[in-house]
A and B are shown apart, each in its own frame.
Chain A
Amino acid sequence: MDFLSMNTLGFPILTLLIFLPLAGAAVVPLTGNDNISRLWTLLVTMVNAALSLLLYFNFSPDSAKFQFAEHYQWISAFNIHYTLGVDGISLLLILLTTLIMPLCVLASWKYITSRVKEFMVCLLIMETAMLGVFMALDLVLFYILWETMLIPMFLMIAVWGGPRKTYASIKFFIYTLAGSVFLLVAIVALFIHQGTFSIPELMGQQYSPQFQLLVFLAFFIAFAIKVPMFPFHTWLPAAHVEAPTAGSVILASVLLKMGTYGFLRFCLPITPGATIYLMPALQWLSVAAILYGGFTALAQQDMKKLIAYSSVGHMGFVTLGIFSLNASGLEGALLQMINHGITTGALFLCVGMVYERNHSRELSDAAGLGRFMPVFVTFLTFFSLSSLAFPGTNSFIGEFMILAGAFENNKILAAFAIPGAILAATYMLRMLQRVIWGGTSNPDHSKLWDLKLRETITLAPLLVFVFWIGLYPEPFLRVIRASLGNLLLQTGYAVP
């Protein structure tokens, strides 16, 4: 167990982080009225967020080991363990998750008016499952939590969603479940081959090329649907458009990262041979996603759809960075996963705020909001600039590193990704122009009100991170370097 660095904090922090929301969820039905259940959920998620900060401050950035580890026998007949651990790859994603959750509660404060308690239970179970996925070091545990995420998300869309919620939720469910089946296949195959479910033990083993290829493809389908990579993306716009704001935010900020996290956690270290073999194809697929996402976003009238397709493009950058298989690309990709979580989450929050006032997500209905909601459009401007990778914001650093990695790897290919950056600028600026200024005649917005304190508090923390990462990314890069360096060694890929 030399890859685990056992927890020395004196209490099982990871278990606590995972099960605190679940325990909180159990209390929600007992709360008296809706407001108390909202406050309770906010409290639980905030305590969890505060608790997760301990991880950052006690994390030793020089070690590539899984830290704060907990390791217990679970089902001995199948050699299944309850193993948790955090390394540089999962640390920031965990922090992102705990940061996003209180904001989701705040964003649902007025948005969700029916079945409030049930919604809060869904949110809390969601948090448990998401944190668990990032911490699990045993494939069975991982798989159980992975599947657990599906249910509350499905319910969020199906119960609290928009007019086409049935279609969207079932599409989301089928796509993700189809992917999960392949994930299960890969897990079983690895178990039969190695006799263990321990993720760290499975890394760095010698598998035959055929076996690697098959396992890789099974993993790949599961994760590519989740990212979503082109051409597995069609569930995403539907789910985003119909989901309530909190659902969209969780989906964009955290769930999409599950896919790329899977690539980093499983594909690269367990099946490095297959990854390197398929690298060119994966890179071109990423570029296709970047361009496809960009062009499609350009054509959208619905703001949520626009941001959903922009996610396809941005996640294309992330996968491009991952499959460039060099330090710059990997670090950029992981940082960009965080950036996308912050920026796109914030943009969905913004659209949700417009929807709460205007009851429309159409760009044409939102034209010219700038005059009546100056504070709102200021936030929107900064988040949109971040989304188009404006220098000085978080996404620029990520995109810069990813493209540096891509150029290092293959200059022609990287050049094809550049139009994606142009497209991002074009569709974001187009949206900004429409929302802030509109045309020569705009719909009447004089009855709309600017941001309330609660809404400002929801957006402000994300804005801080936009500029913090954009101007001083070192505190974030510091913790991911060792683990990604180790990952790169495990893939054994040398620049040709």
Chain B
Amino acid sequence: MDIITSYKPLAAVLAALAGAILVLLSRRHPNIRESWSFLAAMVMLGIIVSMVPDVAPAPYGRGLSLHQTVFYILPGVSLSFRADAFSMVFGLSGSFLWAITVFYSAGYMRGLKEHAQTRFNACFALTLFGAMGVAFADNFFTLYLFYEVVSICTYPLVAHHQDEEGYTGGRKYIVYLTTAAKGLILPAMILVYVLTGTLDFAHNSQQGIFGADMGGVLITIMYACCILGFAKNGVMPLHSWLPGAMVAPTPVSALLHAVAVVTVGVFCTTRVMLYVFGTDLMTRLNLGLPTAYFVSFTILMASVIALSKDNLKARLAYSTVSQLSYIILGVSLLTVDGIHGGVAHMANHAFAKITLFFCAGAVFVMTHKKNISEMSGLGRTMPITFAAFAVASLSMIGAPPVAGFVTKWKLLTGAMEMPAYSAGILAVLMLSTLLNVAYFAPVTFKAFFGKRPTGEIETGVKEAPMTMVVPIMVAAVISVYLGLFPDTIMTFVKAVTG
């Protein structure tokens, strides 16, 4: 892969920062303020799209990797950015989803007359600043820096309501994330530096940065630290910040679960797995399969917990915990299809999950209902919302022709490509699919075919405001599009394994 210098990755990251500053400056004019958010999102998306011809592999593009070093900090440590195929998967989906979330949150926040909207918008933009910084980080230090930026900037969003519940959720959120990062990632990063003298990522997903002669025990310890330490990836047992953060306003939940926070978590995890350790080393030290079984527990357990939740957002939260581990599972299979499935799921999951949260938010704005049991029959009142919900759940389940099917297909073939022991992984994938059906299907079914709760009458079609419905439709349509034309994402995904 050829490397050229380009300011574009840096510019994409800075677009969000500039957006945040402009939002703060125009706090007295709500319309201008939201325009800045949207403008920043569009500028960012524009810059990222403009990198596609350079980064996309042949025959679509030139297959380059764009680099920009901003500061040299220590020998082997710098603040630098890169755009390669792997970062584009997250960069494209994240920036696109930010743009539609800006619309949606304007509708949601104004619909509910929420307080402190300027702070909300500014923190939102700062979170995207962090998320894109992670996407385009060229080394472990830059990755860690922006990972922490995301942690800090999302705290005010999680605790937004400033009530007892908000503070409790916020405290749990920040304690889990910063403790894991400081306690596990920081020492792992320092050890990597001490052992190799550099924190730069490798330029392909096989080699890694360790020499062939380095001790296996120490590397295994560092590897375990990285899997657990990026606690935003929701892997059990450090997952419970995620349901706790459900107290946040719904656009935040959407942001947390789809665009920024959790995707940042799995992106960091997989980035480090592939570009610090590398598949060669993971194969040599047999790190793949134990990881796969370790996250399998999360996949199954979280699905079972999701079954028991009546609160829609809580059910979606546990679904997120479960789905995120698919991504790590895919990569840890260490087969070409497995890695493809896992990486592609970052985008596929993002589009589907944001649709689901948008729907939950639309329902809440219109009816103030949070529980699934109260929503029976509601599909007849809000048909577009629940149709989108149905499409997105199909994606989560992995049914064609929605994007999640591509993931599941790749994961299954990836598991079968494994030299041995794949039966267990196949069983996990099957079982979790059934569980997905079990907790998603009833929601849609009851909404369309269930009886209204006693005391309510049919009101005819009464959808949420257009600022909310349009983003919902866009996100759902894209999920279908990615299912029908998976190459949009898969082009980049395939370049990851070269």
Interface residues of A (CB under 8 A from B): 385, 390-392, 397, 400-401, 403-404, 407-408, 411, 414-415, 418-419, 421-422, 425-426, 429, 433, 437, 439-440, 471-474, 477
Interface size on B, residues (CB 8 A): 32
Interface positions of B from 174 to 195, Cβ below 8 Å from A: 174-175, 178-179, 182-183, 186-187, 190-191, 193-194
CA distance A411 to B215 in the complex (A): 14
CA distance A440 to B190 in the complex (A): 40
Interface residues of B (CB under 8 A from A): 70-74, 77, 79, 141, 144-145, 148-149, 152, 159, 162-164, 167, 170-171, 174-175, 178-179, 182-183, 186-187, 190-191, 193-194
B21 → chain A, closest Cβ, in Å? Answer: 12
Task: Assess the A471–B187 pair: CB atoms within 8 A.
Answer: no
Task: Assess the A426–B179 pair: CB atoms within 8 A.
Answer: yes
Task: Assess the A400–B167 pair: CB atoms within 8 A.
Answer: no
- Contact status of A385 and B187, CB under 8 A, knowing A429-B174, A439-B167, A473-B74: no
Set B72, B141, B179: member contacting A391, Cβ < 8 A: B141
B174 — which chain A residues lie within 8 A by C-beta?
429
* A–B pairs, 22, beta carbons within 8 Å: A391-B141, A391-B145, A392-B145, A400-B193, A403-B190, A404-B194, A407-B190, A407-B194, A414-B190, A418-B182, A418-B187, A419-B183, A421-B183, A422-B178, A425-B179, A426-B175, A437-B167, A440-B162, A440-B164, A471-B79, A472-B71, A472-B73
Task: Assess the A418–B186 pair: CB atoms within 8 A.
Answer: yes
Task: Assess the B73–A397 pair: CB atoms within 8 A.
Answer: yes
A414 — which chain B residues lie within 8 A by C-beta?
187, 190
Set A397, A403, A408, A429: member contacting B74, Cβ < 8 A: A397
Task: Assess the A437–B159 pair: CB atoms within 8 A.
Answer: yes
- Contact status of A408 and B187, CB under 8 A, knowing A426-B175, A471-B73, A472-B73: no
Task: Assess the B194–A425 pair: CB atoms within 8 A.
Answer: no
CA distance A385 to B174 in the complex (A): 14
Set B145, B162, B187: member contacting A415, Cβ < 8 A: B187
CA distance A418 to B163 in the complex (A): 33
- Contact status of A473 and B73, CB under 8 A, knowing A391-B144, A391-B145, A440-B163: yes
Task: Assess the B74–A425 pair: CB atoms within 8 A.
Answer: no
Which 5 pairs between the two chains have the least Cβ-Cβ distance? A391-B145, A422-B182, A471-B71, A425-B178, A421-B182
B218 → chain A, closest Cβ, in Å? Answer: 8
B71 — which chain A residues lie within 8 A by C-beta?
471-472
Nearest neighbor of B161 in chain A, beta-carbon distance:
A440
Nearest neighbor of B164 in chain A, beta-carbon distance:
A440
B70 — which chain A residues lie within 8 A by C-beta?
471
CA distance A429 to B162 in the complex (A): 16
B77 — which chain A residues lie within 8 A by C-beta?
400
Task: Assess the A440–B145 pair: CB atoms within 8 A.
Answer: no
- Contact status of A421 and B194, CB under 8 A, knowing A391-B145, A471-B73, A473-B74: no
Task: Assess the A422–B167 pair: CB atoms within 8 A.
Answer: no
CA distance A390 to B148 in the complex (A): 8
Set A411, A437, A471: member contacting B162, Cβ < 8 A: A437
A418 — which chain B residues lie within 8 A by C-beta?
182-183, 186-187
CA distance A84 to B247 in the complex (A): 62
A391 → chain B, closest Cβ, in Å? Answer: 4
B148 — which chain A residues lie within 8 A by C-beta?
390-391
